[in-house]
């Protein structure tokens, strides 16, 4: 018997395991379906290119995407201690202030979340009004020092975008080098930053290779989970709460497997309905991104990692190609009419990428990706069957609503403009994967052919106060007791930027809510919560 059973050791789960176990009188269990984070490629930044479709990746794919030439899009998700923070590109972006204010959920505005971003952060630039130092999460400058990445920034300035040395500073717009979640040239996943320092506590237990099959209930109260470890069934009991931190695909999957979802969908999978909640698994949002690739005769790309000197440099100083987070440079721009904040983000990688990495590079080159930050389209997560090991059915439904495609086309035009500027000319010498022309038809066809999900899924267990919300302001599942969801699935919309930092800040605040309840909600939210006291 534990006080809290946390399902999923990703960014949110590692934060909660650390923060909740700070109280020595609380017994915390963290369960993870994948293995420990012992694979060397997790910790050497460039090594993450070797992690896709291995034992540390759930290796999901979307259903055929109608507006993307019917392609099934690869959806990597971390299945390991640290979750996706152990296999991501380590970019540290908080998102735009408007993102959180537009959620319209009491207690989750930018003013509410900003202190948690700062609390989590250990920025090598030091503490300031907008940044933290001494927190668990290392934030560092890039250490690859690749000339192509810096040339992208100069080309963006030549194209008229402002130079921005801190995307998490006063403004988000502009181009610059990304800060990364690394320490000393090594990946700083949530497992490294939060979980490892807490694992010696006697009141925290961590179980890997633990597949959770469903949530156990006594009436409408969650009392634990049913799981299996290497084929052996287990029941893990929670005296206070079960907390789902399984992510935007697996948290709704577990709710549905446990009888919480749309009744007809559950009945078709022979699952007894516990709670009629059709919103579970809906509202899926991600950042669709497209790709542009050029090759160059200049020997400057990350292919230099194949040279013996690169490994010697990394071993000596933890710099050079092996320290690369891959997406080293980028920026934020506005392309939509009257956009109140950036709606396009760029990631620039100093490497020729072929078929999303499915084929080896053939030459030095550059890959530039504009992604749409504020998509109108919404997708879904559904069960393939009642077998908990069956992969969920994910429909992104990219470009199915509003002006998403038009703004993506505008993002492609801006990216092509940047890549044609003098600063990048010698690195964009030969087109390799670019549109067939500059017409809207050619750009639309290129977007459909090359769009991928940039691995920022949110929204499938949306928080809010309306009837369609899955969880309330304290992230408690509406209609049930003793059950919360704490991960990116509760975000009503995807923030403008990479989602690891927002997920960590969300979990930091959730830990305080779990420990202190309504005291953190503010007067208005406390009043609305009076009818349902926080679970002890």
**Residues known to be catalytic:** 456
CA 467 to centroid of chain Cα atoms: 26
Cβ contacts of residue 411 below 8 Å, gap of 6+? 290, 333, 335, 344, 370, 371, 372
Closest listed residue to residue 498, CA positions, set 353, 324, 285, 345:
345
Q: Which H/E stretch holds residue 110? A: helix 110-120
Q: Which H/E stretch holds residue 380? A: strand 380-382
Burial of 54 (0-12, 13-18, 19+ CB in 10 A): middle
Cβ contacts of residue 265 below 8 Å, gap of 6+? 256, 382, 383
Distance in Å from the first CA to the final CA of the chain? 16
Distances (CA, A) of 4 to 224, 236, 335, 440: 9, 10, 45, 53
Please give the Cα distance from 445 to 435 (Å, whole number): 8
3-state secondary structure of 121: strand
Cβ contacts of residue 108 below 8 Å, gap of 6+? 100, 463, 473, 509
- Read off φ and ψ for residue 167, nearest 5 degrees: -70, -15
Please give the Cα distance from 393 to 396 (Å, whole number): 10
CB 73 within 8 A of CB 59: no
Angle between helices 110-120 and 500-516 (to 10 degrees): 100
Give the start-end residues of each E strand in 115-171.
121-123, 137-139
CA 93 to centroid of chain Cα atoms: 11
Using only C-alpha atoms, what is the Rg of the chain? 22
CB 73 within 8 A of CB 61: yes
Please give the Cα distance from 197 to 199 (Å, whole number): 6
Looking at residue 216, the DSSP 8-state letter turns out to be E
Please give the Cα distance from 519 to 521 (Å, whole number): 6
Please give the Cα distance from 88 to 498 (Å, whole number): 10
Tallying the residues shown for the chain, one arrives at: 536
Cβ contacts of residue 496 below 8 Å, gap of 6+? 95, 96, 98, 99, 172, 332, 341, 342, 343, 345, 373, 374
Q: Which residues lie across from 140 on neighbouring strands?
A: 180
């Amino acid at each position: 018997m534990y006080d809290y059973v946390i399902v999923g050791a990703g960014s949110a789960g590692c934060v909660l395991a650390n923060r909740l176990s700070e109280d020595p009188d609380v017994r915390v269990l963290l369960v993870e379906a994948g293995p420990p984070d012992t694979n060397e490629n997790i910790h050497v930044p460039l090594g993450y290119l070797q992690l896709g479709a291995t034992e540390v990746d759930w290796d999901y794919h979307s259903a055929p995407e109608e507006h993307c030439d019917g392609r099934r899009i690869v959806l990597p998700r971390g299945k390991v201690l640290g979750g996706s923070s152990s296999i991501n590109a380590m970019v540290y972006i908080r998102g735009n202030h408007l993102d959180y204010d537009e959620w319209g959920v009491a207690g989750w505005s930018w003013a509410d979340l900003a202190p948690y971003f700062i609390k989590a952060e250990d920025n090598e630039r030091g503490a300031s009004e907008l940044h933290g130092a001494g927190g668990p999460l290392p934030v560092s400058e890039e250490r690859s020092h690749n000339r192509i990445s810096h040339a992208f920034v100069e080309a963006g300035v030549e194209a008229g975008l402002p130079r921005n040395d801190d995307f998490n500073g006063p403004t988000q717009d502009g181009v610059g080098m990304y800060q990364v979640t690394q320490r000393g040239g090594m990946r700083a996943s949530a497992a490294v930053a939060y979980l490892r320092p807490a694992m010696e506590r006697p009141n925290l237990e961590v179980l890997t290779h633990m597949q959770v099959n469903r949530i156990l209930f006594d009436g409408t109260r969650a009392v634990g989970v049913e799981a299996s470890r290497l084929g052996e069934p287990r029941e893990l009991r929670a005296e206070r709460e079960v907390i789902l931190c399984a992510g935007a695909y697996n948290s709704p999957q577990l709710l549905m497997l446990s009888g919480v979802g749309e009744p007809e969908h559950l009945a078709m999978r022979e699952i007894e309905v516990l709670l009629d909640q059709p919103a579970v698994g809906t509202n899926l949002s991600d950042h669709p991104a497209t790709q542009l690739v050029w090759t160059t005769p200049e020997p400057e790309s990350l292919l230099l990692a194949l040279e013996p000197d690169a490994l010697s440099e990394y071993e000596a100083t933890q710099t050079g190609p092996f320290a690369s987070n891959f997406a080293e440079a980028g920026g934020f721009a506005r392309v939509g009419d009257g956009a109140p904040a950036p709606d396009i983000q760029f990631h620039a990688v100093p490497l020729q990428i072929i078929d999303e990495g499915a084929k080896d590079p053939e030459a030095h080159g550059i890959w530039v990706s504009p992604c749409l930050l504020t998509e109108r389209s919404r997708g879904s997560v559904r069960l393939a069957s009642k077998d908990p090991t069956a992969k969920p059915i994910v429909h992104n439904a990219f470009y199915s609503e509003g002006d998403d495609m038009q703004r993506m086309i505008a993002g492609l035009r801006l990216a092509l403009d940047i890549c044609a500027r003098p600063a990048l000319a010698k690195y964009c010498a030969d087109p390799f994967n670019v549109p067939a022309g500059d017409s809207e038809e050619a750009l639309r066809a290129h977007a459909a052919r090359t769009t991928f999900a940039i691995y920022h899924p949110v929204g499938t267990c949306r928080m809010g106060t309306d009837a369609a919300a899955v969880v309330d302001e304290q992230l408690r599942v509406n209609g049930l007791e003793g059950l919360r969801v704490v991960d990116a699935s509760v975000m009503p919309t995807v923030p403008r930027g990479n989602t690891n930092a927002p997920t960590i800040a969300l979990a930091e605040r959730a830990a305080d809510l779990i420990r202190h309840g309504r005291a953190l909600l503010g007067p208005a939210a406390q009043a609305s919560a009076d009818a349902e006291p926080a679970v002890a």
